[in-house]
Structure 1
Amino acid sequence: MSLTKHQAALRSRRDQAEIQKERFVQGLPLCHGKSTCQGQSAQQVNATTVASWQRSPAALQSQPIATPRDDEHNILATWEASPLRQAVSPELDKLNRLVQEDTFVAAIADPNGKLLWTAEHPSLRPFTETINFIPGGQWAESISGTNGVGLALSLCRPCTVFATEHYWPACHDIVCYAAPIIHPQSGQLLGVLDLTTHWQRHVPFAESVVAHIANDIARRLPIYLPRADLEIHALGQAKVLFQGQCLHLNQRQLEILCILALNPQGITLETLHQALCPHAHTHPATIKTILTSLRHLLKGEISSHPYRLGMSVWADFVELSQVLQQNNRIADALKLYHGSLLPNSTAPALEDARNHLEAGMEALLYRCQDAQTLLDHANNLLCNPLVRERLLELLAC
């Protein structure tokens, strides 16, 4: 394909995405054929992009000139303390060459979408400074709409956001390639690597380049030191670590582990059945079979009569419950809260625990008097309508 044809194809893609985006904003059905898009053949917009658009309007109810930005001194201290800084150092030469030779902006963001480090080609500096795509800039999807950093955090996989696929018009002239940086031992999402350039310089393989560099950064992260022999993360996206390694559990196994964590003193089979599925046609013998499989995965560390976890345990929802009882630990609670406790579970014990935590979080939000505290944990929180409402109240003051 000649350069002219390539540019024409990119222009067509940009124009078609803009048509689709305008129809979305106006509440019209997206184009799927020639007759519905002003006589032009429509290019299908990726479903993940459309889903991101659906999450974006609340973030950009007004048309801001720039995204919010953290204090420069705060962000420098955060970057110096970040485990990403040391891991990125061996890749800096590669990133700086990409920036200077291929007219890119390179950026590292934390798990909340806050940029910790950037490097840009001089020709792009006026643009990055105008929209705050610089250290301290807040690029969570919940703040800045559809963009590379925010979408990579939401999807937890590499992605490309091309030109008018960005929700915010200020970003319609760029293409972003982003990939999450995931700790290979713990599976923890620690940040995002993003490369951004002008949309006319788009090349399909750039996303693979970013993913490769992000994986190289991840391999250089410090060894993960677990909080306990068993770590249960069940607020938002669930994850269980045993002796620092991820366990792959089904829903029932995860529910039983959470109930055991809520009952460190132990629980009988009958009580566990009532806590888990009192109205379902699940026989207690089935629960015993699940417990046997869990005992095998945990190297025998589940005792019976009563059933109890026989190792050190840390669970985010247990920790959050303790933190919510202390009025002065608002930031700690916001850091722990990544969403509801196993939101799809109908186990009575977990529904009760979930409702208790949600009520505690609602009370905490109305004790919070600092908008920046909420923004610091934006990627965790702004999907919650109560948080958005409280943030708007604080910003209006």
Structure 2
Amino acid sequence: MHDPVTVRPLISASWRRSREAGVDAAVEAAPLAFERDSLADARGAHPLRPHLPMLEALLRGVADETEHLMVITDAAGRVLWTQGPPAARRAADAIGLAEGFRWSEDAIGTNGIGTALATGRPEYVYAAEHVAHILHRWSCAGAPIIDPDSARVIGCIDVSATVPALHPAMVALVAAAARLAESRLENEMRARDERTRERLLPHLRGLGEAGVLVTATGRILAAGAPGLRGRRVPAPEPGAAVALPDGRVAVAEPLGEAFLLRPTGRVVANAPAHPASEPLLTLSLLGDGTPHALLDGRRFDLTLRHAEILALLALHPHGLSGDRLSLYLYGDDGSSATVRPEIHRLRQQLGGIVRARPYRLGCAVEADFLTVRRLLDEGDVGAAVRLYGGELLPRSDAPAIRAERDELAVRVRRQALDRGGADALWAYAQTEPGRTDLEALERLRAVLPVGDPRHVAVASRSERLLNGGP
């Protein structure tokens, strides 16, 4: 009499999830998720792309010498890259274990990729532990990769082979590869954090012990009060309330790719600030909202003309003559005499940071549109599109502002289409130009994971545009 087969609790839980998702044990292959163009877009936008050579080098010996296949997926289990010898690739192609196919549990049942993504831990699945009969000749080990910035799973690294069982060390190997990728991502994150702190700390000093500087993902970069740095808050939204770990409630003020949190409770007005080496002026000029500036943490709403002048001075840090500034603002109809009263009023509002002969800004300057430019130059399309809430001063008719606005809009759109993933394209689709951009909406439909709730909104908007609606 045979002993009863003991099913690991991990596997029985995965079987239950697969059954609830409606996975058929007779399924013959994983479903296709990406066409060729969409696959290229997804690869280009994925944060693991720069680290692919390291991962390939780490696992190349295993994949090439043992008939194993290395697989790297995104967070939805869609295969982005594979590596392995021809025999392993041919066997994998027959079941859809290839680039562009989806290996989440709800697509093909229990497997090393989908189950690791579902549990958030390194996992292995052997032979008959798979739900799909066609996978019973396969075994696989997968480990999720967690983004240290957002603390969310962004992908999975997997080794699979047509063997009854993998060597026990294989789970440890893929787990080590995942941890190495995470350490690389963390090093990049820390370098970005340090650059952001250096630029934006004067705003925090302007609020004394009350303020908090956080990333767009809610990580606290710096705080006047002790014990908060390194902790997390919910991802902030401009102007929305945020609960701080110490119980205070703060309002989120965007500062480029970061946020300044201003507590709304007991904060001493005009508290003495710790002076910085030089003032920091941050300009928020993108989108339809009221343009405004922050000067060492203090907010100033701007008229359209003052916003135009500050944008032009930020674009020309070495300064502009009165005639040149007038030409940029008014075209051939202006003169330096027209500019002079506006500069005087701006100086009354912001003080001595507005200098003359030539007109320039005597302080460090951050501007949302300049930050978008920099992020695009650095290839961080996702961050650039999230920050790009709309066009630069959309109501401005100043010739130089129009030129900068148009150039930036074209760059954001092109890079979102060419290199943006689902989140970047979704962010672009929420901007004024993106809402009616049929090409962007159709690309977004192609790259959104199956079952993503955003599918309905994107499909509805695309249909309206195709039918001639707004």
Given the two structures, how large is their TM-score scaled by the length of structure 1? 0.54
Instruction: Decide whether the 8 Å contact of 2:139 with 2:166 is kept in 1.
Output: yes
Tell me, in whole angstroms, the C-alpha distance in 2 between the residues paired with 1:381 and 1:171: 30
Q: Deviations over 1:162-192 (max 9, x none)?
A: 1111111111111110001122344232210
Deviation at 1:231, TM superposition (A): 6.1
Describe the shift of the 1:376–1:138 C-alpha distance in structure 2 as closer, same or farther (beyond 3 A): farther
Deviation of 1:49 after TM superposition, in Å, equals 1.5
Residue aligning to 2:18: 56
Partner of 2:55: 91
1:202 is matched with which residue?
166
Is the counterpart of residue 223 in structure 1 residue 189 in structure 2?
A: yes
Q: Residue 265 of structure 2: which of 304, 307, 315 is its match?
A: 304
Tell me what 1:112 maps to: 76
> Does the aligned pair in 2 maintain the 1:56–1:142 contact within 8 Å?
yes
Cα pair distance change 1:301/1:94, threshold 3 Å: same
Please say if residues 59 and 144 of structure 1, whose CA atoms lie closer than 8 Å, have aligned partners that are also in contact: no
What is the letter of the counterpart of residue 60 of structure 1? V
Relative to 1, partners in 2 of residues 1:333 and 1:142: Cα closer, same or farther, differing over 3 Å? farther
Q: Cα deviations across residues 64-107 of structure 1 (Å, max 9, x unaligned)? A: 32222121232133213322121121232232211111211101
Partner SS state of residue 180, structure 1: strand
Which structure is richer in relative contact order (CA contacts within 8 A, separation 6 or more)? 1
Preserved contact between residue 116 and residue 143 of structure 2 (Cα < 8 Å): yes
Q: Decide whether the 8 Å contact of 1:142 with 1:379 is kept in 2.
A: no
Q: Are positions 1:164 and 2:128 aligned together?
A: yes
Identify the match of residue 142 of structure 1 among 87, 90, 106: 106
2:286 matched to which residue of 1?
none
Question: What displacement does 1:127 show?
Answer: 1.7
Deviations 1:300-343 (A, max 9, x none): 9533169xxx99xxxxxxx9xx9xxxxxxxx769979xxxxxxx
With over 3 angstroms needed to count, the CA separation of the structure-2 counterparts of 1:107 and 1:301, relative to structure 1, is same
Question: Structure 1 residues 88, 46: closer, same or farther in 2, change over 3 A?
Answer: same
Pairwise CA RMSD of aligned residues? 4.5
Tell me the TM-score normalised to structure 2 length: 0.46
Distance verdict in 2 for CA 1:46–1:231, change over 3 Å: farther
Aligned to 1:75: 39
Question: Is the partner of 1:40 in helix, strand or coil?
Answer: coil
Aligned to 1:191: 155
Query: What SS does the corresponding residue of 2:97 show, helix, strand or coil?
Result: coil
SS in 1 for 2:172: helix
Query: For 1:220, what is the secondary structure of its paired residue?
Result: helix
Greater radius of gyration (CA) = 2
Distance in 2 of aligned mates of 1:91 and 1:333: 25
Alpha-carbon separation, structure 1, partners of 2:96 and 2:263: 51
- Among residues 219, 240, 246, which one is paired with 1:293 in the alignment? 246
Query: What letter is aligned with 2:231?
Result: L
Pair 1:241 & 2:210 matched:
no
Q: Which runs of 5+ in 1 are unaligned?
A: 1-38, 234-239, 249-253, 267-289, 312-318, 323-330, 337-368, 388-397
After superposition, the C-alpha distances for 1:200-259 in whole angstroms (9 at most, x for unaligned) are: 3521121001100111122223427689944687xxxxxx532398636xxxxx7xx69x
Deviation at 1:261, TM superposition (A): 6.9
User: Relative to 1, partners in 2 of residues 1:333 and 1:215: Cα closer, same or farther, differing over 3 Å?
Assistant: closer
CA distance, structure 2, for counterparts of residue 159 and residue 56 of structure 1: 16
Question: 1:187 touches 1:246 (CA, 8 Å); kept in 2?
Answer: no
Q: Distance in 2 between matches of 1:113 and 1:246?
A: 30
Q: Residues 296 and 303 (structure 1 numbering): CA distance in 2 closer, same or farther, change over 3 Å?
A: closer
- Give the superposition deviation at 1:264: 3.1
The one of 66, 69, 88 equivalent to 1:124 is 88
Residue 377 (1) aligns with residue 343 (2): no
Partner SS for 2:37: helix
Identity of aligned residues (%): 25
Task: Please state how far the C-alpha of 1:109 moved relative to its aligned partner.
Answer: 0.1
Distance 1:229 1:56, change over 3 A: farther
Letter in 1 for 2:29: A
Which residue type is aligned with residue 124 of structure 2? T
Provide the rounded CA distance (Å) in 1 between the counterparts of 2:134 and 2:425: 30
In structure 1, give the amino acid aligned to 2:145. I
Q: How many residues align?
A: 261
Q: Which has the higher helix share?
A: 1
Matches for 1:229-268 after TM superposition, within 5 Å: 229-230=213-214, 240-243=218-221, 247=231, 264=240
Helix, strand or coil: the match of 2:246? helix
Q: 1:72 to 1:300 in 2, by over 3 A?
A: closer
Quote the Cα distance in structure 2 between the aligned partners of 1:300 and 1:77.
35
SS in 2 for 1:200: coil
The one-letter amino acid of 1:63's match is A
SS at match of 1:78: helix
Of the three residues 54, 58, 64, the one matched with 1:100 is: 64
